[in-house]
Amino acid sequence: MFVSRSMTQKVVTIDKNADILEAKELMEQYQIRHVPVVEPDGLLIGMITDRDIRSALPSTFYKKDKAATKRAVAPSIKVKELMSQKLTTLSPMDTIEDALLLIQKTLVGALPVVDEKGRLKGIISVRDLLRAFINVLGIGQPGTLLCILAEEKIGQLKKIVDIITEERISFGSVLVARYWQEGKRAVFPYLLTNNVVSVKKKLKDAGYTLLDPMEWCMDQLPKAETK
């Protein structure tokens, strides 16, 4: 799935010469934490976050109630003085997998999406990615997640799928993940039913081990060796 299908296209932006109080008010109005800074032609030149603003405002600012008082005590700081200019961006043709890996690597909550000329086309946040994966995995519908331990060899996934479909159960999705034991894989079918007693019995009878998906975790995977 491409980023262009999941990103927010109607992006709230701000001018570099606006003051930080205006940026703060925009964030509060639209309930966002990141505001791209753009030129009049849409060229992305920076990003300002709620963390940037909090670091610049005095602590007394947040103890005041009246807007007029707040504006009076707010320092005269322009957005361009606080915005981050070294940005990690995405293209509309990147995938949501690319976006997820970049967000994990950069530890940011959102990434701007730009065209080949650097003009802002959208923004994709952790919330957007969660919504996209919910749709992809089909977990927006009631169902049950199973965790099946299988041999890492051709044909295992087909056997599992055949056993489940014989019970006339529909799939929301199927994921296959690494497992800590060599030669094994963890298969996670999301089944669109809550009645899974019979299919679990058939899987066990076929020789598969069923694990509790809530207890399976990435911490079980072997750690990379440090040099």
Greater pLDDT, 60 or 213? 213
SS3 3: helix
d(CA 47, CA 159): 50
Residue 226: pLDDT band with limits 50, 70, 90: very low
Greater pLDDT, 164 or 219? 164
- For 74-115, how does the pLDDT look when each residue is reduced to its tens digit (9 = 90+)? 567 899 999 999 999 999 999 999 999 999 899 888 999 999
- What value does the mean pLDDT take over residues 198-219? 85
Average pLDDT over all residues of the chain: 87
User: DSSP states of 117-147 as a string?
Assistant: T-BEEEEEEHHHHHHHHHHHHTTTSS-EE-E
Hey, do 3-134 and 144-220 end up sharing a CATH topology, with the first three levels equal? no
pLDDT at 22 over 80: yes
Predicted confidence at residue 70, as pLDDT, reads 55
| Reduced 3-state DSSP string for 176-221 | EEECCCCCEEEEEEEECCCCCHHHHHHHHHCCCEEECCCCCCHHHC
Element (H, E) at 30: helix 20-30
For the chain, the distance separating the N- and C-terminal CA atoms, rounded to the nearest angstrom, is 36
* Gyration radius (Cα) of the chain, Å: 24
Predicted confidence at residue 181, as pLDDT, reads 79
CA distance readout (Å), 30 to 36, 83, 183, 203: 13, 19, 49, 49
Q: Residue 129's CB: how many other CB atoms inside 10 A?
A: 20
Fold of 144-220: Alpha-Beta Plaits (3.30.70)
CATH 3.10.580.10 fits 3-134, yes or no: yes
SS3 75: coil
Structure tokens at 210: 């069923």
Domain ranges, ordered by start, for the chain:
3-134, 144-220
CA distance readout (Å), 82 to 78, 96, 108, 170, 217: 7, 29, 16, 51, 39
